[in-house]
Amino acid sequence: MPHRETFTNALELKKKRFDELHVLLADPKVITNTSEFQSYSKELARITPIVEEYSAFTKTRSDLEDIKNVLSEKGHDRDFIVMAEEEGHKLAAKLEELRSKIEDMLLAGESGGARDIIMEIRAGTGGLEAGLFAADLLRMYSKYASNQGWKVEPIDASLSEKGGYKEVVFSISGKDVYSKLKFESGTHRVQRVPETEASGRIHTSAATVCVLPEAEDVEIDIKPEDIRIDVYRSGGAGGQGVNRTDSAVRLTHLPTGMVVTCQDERSQLKNKAKALRVLRARLYDFKQTAQQSKISQSRKSQVGSGDRSEKIRTYNYPDRRITDHRIGFTVHNLEDFLNGDIDEMVKALQAEERKLRLQQAK
């Protein structure tokens, strides 16, 4: 458990920021600046629940102190003392419950748990089978998102044969998206007999998943002069749905060389807006990774190395087994898992991270 002083200081800072945001959102200059107003509103919405819990925590702590003070006084009869002690036990239990809940909220906030995400899935080794596995992962995350009540929005895709994907990019928005899916970054391996394998031999293929927390406009400032914009005609299967205009967009961030494409929308402006979201998320991730690499201790509080080339999970079809190698956790419900029933794995990864972070905070 974190030191009580550190715990209280962190919450006092949240309360101070909470008060500052109320002042800022009442400022006419902020009100007339749409992006700034939205950014502050989102930040206020993120920290309000933890400030409310902190208010409940401080009241409970004060009530408990009052009980202790009363019990330290002499002259009370036995029945009164028993009643006060029982009330004290209840308040102490409630205080620890609130402390644990607030710790979880603080840890989630530190790791960006409340953010929406951009997810990128790419076929790795394994040729056609890797592309089909990438499609399986897309379906798995889409179904999990649906079960959670989240919104999935396509951004870009490069198809392979037989319904597979060379690469697919999409966003997921909703409550606690990043806190639940941030552990999915890394290399996912599949061991199964491909449909195209006549001899029935088991093949191992792979796909990589990248989870990027979405960044606010005010967090990552992209200068217009730092971007080269190219437009081209979207690909399509033909027929009435084919795009006959140059609506697809390719953004190149000149300082870093990052390239983002988007052709999901028929509107060039909408494709540009989506591409900017991806670019902003990648730049934010690049910035965060650089900061974390300077702090060696931060790696000790993470599940896995954080390296996206790390093999994090194996999906074994013959044994109907999924194993996460970072925490040595295995489940045997492969069909349900690939249909979006991944919550048991998600909770195991969250529990391990919480344990590591609390150990570090001691």
Q: What is the DSSP string of 246-308?
A: --EEEEEETTTTEEEEE-SSSSHHHHHHHHHHHHHHHHHHHHHHHHHHT-HHHHTTSSS---T
pLDDT value at residue 38? 86
Contact 271, 262 (CB under 8 A): yes
pLDDT value at residue 292? 60
Q: Is the pLDDT assigned to residue 110 strictly greater than 50?
A: yes
pLDDT value at residue 6? 66
pLDDT classification of 1: cutoffs 50, 70, 90:
very low
Mean pLDDT of 193-220: 82
Mean pLDDT of 251-256: 92
pLDDT classification of 307: cutoffs 50, 70, 90:
low
pLDDT value at residue 175? 86
- What is the residue extent of each domain of the chain? 4-110, 117-214+300-361, 224-292
Mean pLDDT of 92-115: 78
Q: Is the pLDDT assigned to residue 187 strictly greater than 70?
A: yes
Which alpha helices (H) appear in 163-267, and where do they start and end?
177-181
pLDDT classification of 3: cutoffs 50, 70, 90:
low
> What pTM value is reported for the model?
0.68
Token couple for 135: 């499609």
Q: Is the pLDDT assigned to residue 319 strictly greater than 70?
A: yes
* Nearest-angstrom CA–CA distance, 197 and 170: 31
CB < 8 Å & 24+ apart, contacts of 229-235: 229/272, 231/268, 234/263, 234/266, 235/263
Q: Is the pLDDT assigned to residue 134 strictly greater than 70?
A: yes
CATH domain 224-292 topology? Double Stranded RNA Binding Domain (3.30.160)
Q: Is the pLDDT assigned to residue 5 strictly greater than 60?
A: no
Q: Top-level CATH class of 117-214+300-361? A: alpha beta
Of 122-126, 149-153, 281-285, 302-306, least confident by mean pLDDT is 302-306
**pLDDT tens sequence across 337-357:** 999 999 999 999 988 987 887
**pLDDT tens sequence across 274-306:** 999 899 898 888 877 766 655 444 444 556 655
Q: Is the pLDDT assigned to residue 217 strictly greater than 70?
A: no
Q: Is the pLDDT assigned to residue 237 strictly greater than 80?
A: no
**pLDDT tens sequence across 201-210:** 899 999 999 9
99: β partners:
none
